[in-house]
C-alpha cells in the first residue's frame, strides 16, 4: 500500500473530469474524505466551507461558517494555505485579509450573480454622477469593487453602517436591491441610491410562495435572510398578522445558527439558499427545518464538488491573486465595516 500523497492521489485523481457543471467523477466516500484530510495536512492547509456548500464538503472541512467569519478564521489560522470552499469573491476577501497566505479555491469559475451585478467600471461611472456620495457595498462584491468602496457592510450591520454616515451625505448602496430596500425602510433615509442588483437564488424566493407556506404552517417560526426577495413580504405578512411578528426573524446566515439553538417552535421555515439547512439541522436536530423554496440552490456554490476539492489539494489550484494596491484599498473598506455595529458574518 502506498503511503505518500503523491503515490495515493493518482487513483482517485484519475477519475476526475471537467463536466458542464464543474469537476466531477469522484464520490464523497470515506476514502475520499481521508485523502482530502491527508492532502490538506501535507500542504499545511486548512479547509474552510461556506454554509451553502454541499453537505459532504461541509462535513470534511475544518471550519464551516459565513463569509466574514471564515475570512477571520483564515487570517488567524496557523496554517499558511487556505482552501476556501465557497465562491470567488469570498476567497478574494480571505486573500485581502491575509495577503501573506496562499489562498486556493477548488474551482475559480464559482462566481456569484450578485457580485457580478456591478463591475468596477460601472461603479466608477456611478460615483462620477454622485461625486460627494459615500459608497457602501455589501460584502458580495469583487476585490476591485471593494477597492472603490468607502465602507463594506454585511446584512447584520448594513443599517448601522448607513446610519453612521452624516445625514447630509448621499449614499450609494450596492449591489443588492433587496438589502438596500430593507436598509432604506429601516433608516428612513431619502438620499440613498440603490443599485438594482440581485442574486438569482434569493430573488427566486418570492412573496406568493412565502404566503402559502405561512398559511399552511401556522405554528412555525420563519427565518429570513435579508438578501432574499421575500424579506419585504415577510415583514408585510407579519404586519398584517398573517405571520406573528415575534416568529419572524431577519437574520444573517451566522445569526440563523444562533437562533436555531434558541428556537422554541418545533418547525422553522427557512428563506435562503437550501445548503443552510444542513448546518441548521446539525445545530438543532430536534427542529423540523423546511425550505420556503426547495429550488433555491446556488449553482456556483455547488461547483465545489468532491472532485474539485481533491484536484485543488493535489494540484495546488486554483490560486486566488489580488494585486497589492487593490487589496490594500479593499482592506480599508472591509476594516471600516468590522468597526461598525455587529457585522455578524455576511452571507
Residue 253 as a binder of ligand SF4 (CB under 6 A): the answer is no
CB of 129 to ligand SF4, least distance (A): 26
Residue 64 as a binder of ligand SF4 (CB under 6 A): the answer is no
Residue 87 as a binder of ligand SF4 (CB under 6 A): the answer is yes
Could you tell me if 171 and 136 are in contact, meaning their C-beta atoms sit under 8 angstroms apart? Answer: yes
Q: Give the number of other Cβ atoms within 10 Å of residue 168's Cβ.
A: 7
CB of 301 to ligand SF4, least distance (A): 6
CB of 107 to ligand SF4, least distance (A): 13
Return the residues of window 94-113 that contact ligand SF4 according to CB under 6 A: 112-113
CB of 333 to ligand SF4, least distance (A): 19
Secondary element (H or E) of residue 50: strand 45-50
Nearer to ligand SF4 among residue 12 and residue 274 (C-beta): 274
Summarize the chain as % helix, strand, coil (round to 5): 45, 15, 40
Nearer to ligand SF4 among residue 117 and residue 213 (C-beta): 117
Residue 298 as a binder of ligand SF4 (CB under 6 A): the answer is yes
Q: What DSSP letter does each residue of 143-160 carry, written as one string?
A: HHHHHT-SEEE-TTTHHH
Give the residue from 15, 39, 18 showing the smallest Cα distance to 27.
15
Residue 347 as a binder of ligand SF4 (CB under 6 A): the answer is yes
DSSP β-ladder status, 134-138 and 102-104: unpaired
CA-to-CA distance for 134 and 150, rounded, in angstroms? Answer: 6
Return the residues of window 179-238 that contact ligand SF4 according to CB under 6 A: 199, 201-202
- How many chain residues bind ligand SF4 (CB under 6 A)? 14
CA-to-CA distance for 272 and 262, rounded, in angstroms? Answer: 19
CB of 112 to ligand SF4, least distance (A): 3
Binding site for ligand SF4 (CB under 6 A): 52, 87, 112-114, 140, 199, 201-202, 273, 298, 300-301, 347
Amino acid at each position: 500500500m502506498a503511503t505518500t500523497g503523491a503515490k495515493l492521489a493518482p487513483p482517485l485523481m484519475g477519475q476526475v473530469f471537467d463536466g458542464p457543471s464543474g469537476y466531477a467523477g469522484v464520490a464523497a466516500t470515506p476514502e475520499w474524505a481521508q485523502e482530502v484530510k491527508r492532502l490538506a495536512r501535507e500542504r499545511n492547509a486548512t479547509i474552510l466551507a461556506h454554509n451553502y456548500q454541499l453537505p459532504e464538503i461541509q462535513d470534511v472541512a475544518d471550519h464551516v461558517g459565513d463569509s466574514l467569519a471564515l475570512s477571520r478564521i483564515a487570517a488567524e489560522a496557523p496554517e499558511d494555505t487556505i482552501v476556501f470552499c465557497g465562491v470567488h469573491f469570498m476567497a478574494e476577501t480571505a486573500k485581502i485579509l491575509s495577503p501573506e497566505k496562499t489562498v486556493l479555491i477548488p474551482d475559480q469559475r464559482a462566481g456569484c450573480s450578485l457580485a457580478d451585478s456591478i463591475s468596477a467600471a460601472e461603479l466608477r461611472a456611478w460615483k462620477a454622477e454622485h461625486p460627494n456620495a459615500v459608497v457602501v457595498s455589501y460584502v458580495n462584491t469583487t476585490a476591485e469593487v471593494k477597492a472603490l468602496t468607502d465602507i463594506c457592510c454585511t446584512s447584520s450591520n448594513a443599517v448601522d453602517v448607513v446610519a453612521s454616515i452624516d445625514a447630509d451625505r448621499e449614499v450609494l448602496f450596492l449591489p443588492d436591491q433587496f438589502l438596500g430596500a430593507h436598509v432604506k425602510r429601516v433608516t428612513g433615509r431619502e438620499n440613498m441610491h440603490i443599485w438594482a442588483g440581485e442574486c438569482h437564488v434569493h430573488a427566486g424566493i418570492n412573496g406568493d410562495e412565502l404566503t402559502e407556506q405561512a398559511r399552511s404552517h401556522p405554528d412555525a417560526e420563519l427565518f429570513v435572510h435579508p438578501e432574499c426577495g421575500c424579506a419585504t413580504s415577510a415583514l408585510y405578512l407579519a404586519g398584517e398578522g398573517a405571520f406573528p411578528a415575534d416568529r419572524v426573524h431577519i437574520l444573517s446566515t451566522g445569526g440563523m445558527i444562533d437562533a436555531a439553538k434558541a428556537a422554541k417552535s418545533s418547525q422553522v421555515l427557512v428563506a435562503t439558499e437550501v445548503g443552510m439547512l444542513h448546518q441548521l439541522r446539525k445545530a438543532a436536530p430536534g427542529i423540523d427545518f423546511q425550505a420556503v423554496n426547495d429550488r433555491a440552490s446556488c449553482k456556483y456554490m455547488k461547483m465545489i464538488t468532491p472532485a474539485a476539492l481533491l484536484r485543488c489539494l493535489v494540484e495546488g489550484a486554483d490560486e486566488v491573486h489580488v494585486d497589492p494596491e487593490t487589496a490594500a484599498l479593499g482592506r480599508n473598506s472591509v476594516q471600516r465595516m468590522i468597526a461598525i455595529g455587529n457585522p455578524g458574518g455576511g452571507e
